[in-house]
Chain A
Amino acid sequence: MTPQTEAELAAIIKAADGPLRIEGGGTRPIGGATNGARLSTSAMRGIELYEPGALTLVARSGTPLDEVEAALAKEGQRLAFEPMDHRGLLGTAGTPTIGGVVAANVSGPRRVQAGACRDFLLGVRFVDGAGRIVKNGGRVMKNVTGYDLVKLMAGSYGTLGVLTEVALKVLPAPQMAATLRLDGLDDAQAVTALCRALGSPFEVTGAAHLPGKATLLRIEGFAASVAYRAERLTALLAPFGALAVEDDPDVVAATWRDIRDVTAFHGRAGDVWRLSVKPSDAPGIVAGLSGVEALYDWGGGLVWLLAPEGRANTIRAGVDAKGGHATRVRGAGADAFHPLPAPVAALQAGLRRRFDPRGLLNPGLMACV
């Protein structure tokens, strides 16, 4: 089913008598495919409003991400949260949509400085499991009118409602970007260096460590600023070695695209895990796991693991000992999402019953048991 309008979508959900599998572009089947009839947002598309002078864009949920990014680029702006493209990692085809980005709260390396998708989401419209059309938030940057269902919808993977429209804050694209590279650091040294850089006033917008390869920082802004900050960071990080500066725009863009999309794990056998942890805990957690390969982003706060199948318990035990969570982004099993403490799981289940009383929307997805 591919409704053209929000009203059609509401009618479909009201009339549904069995589970629905909600799909944007179908490029991010995280947590495994769910049962049910396919319900696609792809026909509800188009940018409805874009005001560059107000840094706001409103689009229907099925709008291809490319279309949004192209419209922004024309005005020298962008989605600052740098959404990842999951196709290479998950081996999917299709066209990523802006609604899919929001439903999975997808953010890239710049999340560490600019914030996540949810931080740029100003408003939503959605149809919940009862067929109720709901709007929340709006298209202005500051809005505390009522409860923030905008945040609740971001990252709820279509389990509370089907998004029909999203309003986003956008930001100016910088004049230039540069990558600063350190070599020869082990994981613990690298995270220490990244933390030091992120704790500086020099507005680092990317902080990644590729074990055995390189430790990388990104700075962006006006050309003079980038040069100045590169110099200051070189001095600050001198104890960790000499920094090499790369400022060819294509090379810089490719480097951070590869980090964003976890290119190093594309086409390789094994499960892929995404760990969200306190940065300084990350090297210890990785060191406690055998037979895994790790990539660090967000200054260590995000760890990508390539691991043999069936390692959920070991990985989660390692994370639980320190705090944080682990999601299996690629691989089989019903336990992709991190189990929640009982009272929090009860709240989550309660919300789900309220917004989807008949259990129609992506049943089984985000199950946390």
Chain B
Amino acid sequence: MQMPVPNPAILSRKAELVARLRTVLPVDAVISDPAETRAYECDALTAYKCPPLVAILPATTQEVSDALAICHDMGVPVVPRGSGTSLAGGALPTADSVILGVARMNAVLETDYDNRLIRVQTGRTNLSVTGAVEEHGFFYAPDPSSQLACAIAGNIAMNSGGAHCLKYGVTTNNLMGVTMVLMDGTVIELGGAHLDAAGYDLLGLVCGSEGQLGVVTEATLRILRKPEGARPVLIGFDSNEVAGACVSDIIKAGVLPVAIEFMDRPCIRATEDFAHAGYPDCEALLIVEVEGSEAEIDAQLALIEEIARRHDPVELRQSKSAEESAKIWLGRKSAFGAMGQINDYMCLDGTIPVSALPLVLRRIGEMSKEFGLDVGNVFHAGDGNMHPLILFDANKPGDLERCEAFGAEILKLCVEVGGCLTGEHGVGIEKRDLMAHQYDSDDLAAQMDVKDVFDPGWLLNPAKVFPLEASQGRRAA
């Protein structure tokens, strides 16, 4: 992975930088000892590591503003960091950068049940947002798998999704407003407790911009009343094609499940060996969950069952209780862990049109043989967001490179069939150099124009999202 050469002029001014940052931040909020900055050398994409020059942990919007103004003045790059759970290297530092961690900003600023919103500092974890409102029967809908650890700041940066997006949408559909600090220290407010933007939808533009347009310090989030109940049905099929057709038929029938999860045979086997969830021995498995009152759930599951039966399922198991629901979800929720028991794995995140599912799974199977690496597929079928898990051995020379090459081929295939490189993890550094497969030079130029407007010096979260050669002229300008 190519990264820009660290700027020696910045490296040589480290002492001055630290001294200036200490004038605006508490002494324990500026970390400059190399033994300590190593804690920030990578995120969840651990294949790439680079300790930052300095790490700072501001506690308020004002502190963020003051610190950014200093970095701006000295021309120092800044890498914003939520909880460091990015699978795409979204928070990978450069050697000449300041890591700006939001972990100390985790307060709830306001809850408003009448207007159905919560305002938080963005270092707060995703799950603890729901934690703050659940005793009143409310929840925050986006639920990435890392929700116990991941911060709202990172969710906004990557426009994170989760298993329940089919019904509730992703972060951008649940984000109402932000307080954001621009690279020069200017504090702006976008959106708020009202619904639509005045002027351009800058809030929509900021969400998913991977920390490259500003540092979001506070967020107003939509909260929803919890449904009365939810229950899944598990359906097994003897081919991926039939399972794909069943997904399509369920959607066409007018039911809107809250989740439709899909697992293929390699994944089913791995999870059975690991979690013993009692899954059937079959080619493809669907978990379809619906919400509502008991009677509404029964009616929806009956309709789904009727549709599924037309496709000759090898197994059909409707949950009738909380225990049965937990058992059905057990395998799905332990899928990543189960694959991790077998070997190291790389998790991809491409999205495809649901109609292309059988073709893409067949091609992935063929490529698996060509590359000599096993792959299991587990994904959100309702919205076509795939998570192929490629198994490799990190200790075997050449395996990681082979795995990355295989992954790149899968993602190119996703684009070819009308999909995209990443559905919810973000581009980061991981998919940066694949961007040209989805977007031509004008498409990328239009996006980089936005970057130029918000951060003319290209100091925020350097070397992410855009291929380095594409951004070269702008970064140098």
Are A174 and B254 CB-contacts (below 8 A) given A147-B205, A147-B208, A201-B228? yes
Are A199 and B114 CB-contacts (below 8 A) given A54-B251, A141-B165, A171-B256? yes
B231 within 8 A of A: no
A267 within 8 A of B: no
Are A53 and B454 CB-contacts (below 8 A) given A142-B423, A224-B299, A337-B199? no
B445 within 8 A of A: yes
Within 8 A of A (CB), among B154-191: 158-159, 161, 165-166, 169-170, 172-173, 182, 186, 188-190
- In the complex, which residue of chain A has the Cβ closest to the Cβ of B171? A144
- Asked whether B248 lies within 8 Å of A53 as measured between CB atoms, the reply is yes
B-contact bits for A116-133, CB 8 A (1 contact / 0 none): 101100000000100011
- Asked whether A366 lies within 8 Å of B199 as measured between CB atoms, the reply is yes
Bound together, the chains give a CA A277 to CA B161 distance in angstroms of: 27
- Asked whether B252 lies within 8 Å of A301 as measured between CB atoms, the reply is no
Specify which of B158, B189, B194, B296 is in contact with A144 (CB 8 Å cutoff).
Answer: B158
- In the complex, which residue of chain B has the Cβ closest to the Cβ of A368? B199
Are A149 and B446 CB-contacts (below 8 A) given A76-B254, A142-B383, A344-B190? yes
Residues in A whose Cβ lies below 8 Å from that of B425: 144
Specify which of A147, A174, A201 is in contact with B447 (CB 8 Å cutoff).
Answer: A147
Residues in B whose Cβ lies below 8 Å from that of A171: 256
B286 within 8 A of A: no
- In the complex, which residue of chain A has the Cβ closest to the Cβ of B291? A201
B422 within 8 A of A: yes
- Asked whether A198 lies within 8 Å of B116 as measured between CB atoms, the reply is yes
Are A51 and B355 CB-contacts (below 8 A) given A138-B418, A147-B209, A366-B199? yes
A13 within 8 A of B: no
Bound together, the chains give a CA A323 to CA B190 distance in angstroms of: 11
Specify which of B172, B248, B352, B427 is in contact with A145 (CB 8 Å cutoff).
Answer: B427
**Of A87-95, A255-263, A348-356, the one touching chain B:** A348-356
**Of A22-30, A37-45, A151-159, A178-186, the one touching chain B:** A151-159
B438 within 8 A of A: yes
Bound together, the chains give a CA A201 to CA B170 distance in angstroms of: 19
Within 8 A of B (CB), among A135-172: 135-136, 138-152, 154-156, 160, 171-172
- Asked whether A140 lies within 8 Å of B384 as measured between CB atoms, the reply is yes
Q: Which of A149, A201, A224 has the most CB of B within 10 A?
A: A201
Bound together, the chains give a CA A228 to CA B458 distance in angstroms of: 55
Specify which of A146, A228, A278 is in contact with B427 (CB 8 Å cutoff).
Answer: A146
Residues in A whose Cβ lies below 8 Å from that of B300: 222
Residues in A whose Cβ lies below 8 Å from that of B419: 138, 140
Q: Which of A150, A277, A302, A347 has the most CB of B within 10 A?
A: A347
A-contact bits for B36-60, CB 8 A (1 contact / 0 none): 0000000000000000000000000
Within 8 A of B (CB), among A300-352: 301-302, 323-325, 327, 337-338, 340-341, 343-345, 347-348, 350-351
Closest Cβ–Cβ distance, residue B62 to chain A (whole Å): 16
Residues in A whose Cβ lies below 8 Å from that of B236: none
- Asked whether B199 lies within 8 Å of A152 as measured between CB atoms, the reply is no
- In the complex, which residue of chain A has the Cβ closest to the Cβ of B213? A147
- In the complex, which residue of chain B has the Cβ closest to the Cβ of A171? B256
Closest Cβ–Cβ distance, residue A286 to chain B (whole Å): 15
Residues in A whose Cβ lies below 8 Å from that of B454: 347
Residues of A contacting B: mostly: mixed
Bound together, the chains give a CA A210 to CA B388 distance in angstroms of: 52
- In the complex, which residue of chain B has the Cβ closest to the Cβ of A173? B254
Q: Which of A111, A140, A298 has the most CB of B within 10 A?
A: A140
Residues in B whose Cβ lies below 8 Å from that of A32: none
B439 within 8 A of A: yes
- Asked whether A135 lies within 8 Å of B200 as measured between CB atoms, the reply is no
- In the complex, which residue of chain B has the Cβ closest to the Cβ of A154? B201
- Asked whether B169 lies within 8 Å of A172 as measured between CB atoms, the reply is no
Residues in A whose Cβ lies below 8 Å from that of B195: 111-112, 116, 276, 298, 301-302
Could you list 15 further interchain pairs (A-B, Cβ under 8 angstroms) beyond the known A224-B296, A323-B192? A54-B353, A133-B442, A138-B438, A142-B161, A144-B158, A151-B172, A152-B204, A192-B114, A199-B113, A228-B295, A278-B192, A280-B115, A338-B198, A340-B199, A368-B199
- Show the binding face of A for B, using Cβ within 8 Å: 51-56, 75-76, 105, 107, 111-112, 115-116, 118-119, 128, 132-136, 138-152, 154-156, 160, 171-175, 192, 195-196, 198-201, 222, 224-225, 228, 276-281, 298, 301-302, 323-325, 327, 337-338, 340-341, 343-345, 347-348, 350-351, 354-355, 366, 368
- Show the binding face of B for A, using Cβ within 8 Å: 112-116, 137-138, 158-159, 161, 165-166, 169-170, 172-173, 182, 186, 188-190, 192-205, 207-209, 225-228, 247-249, 251-256, 292-293, 295-296, 299-300, 351-355, 380, 383-385, 418-427, 431, 435, 438-439, 442-447, 449-454, 465
Interface pairs A-B: 3 shortest CB-CB: A151-B204, A53-B248, A325-B198
- For this complex, 8 residue pairs linking A to B, each with C-beta atoms less than 8 Å apart, are A53-B354, A54-B251, A138-B438, A140-B384, A140-B423, A146-B427, A160-B200, A348-B200
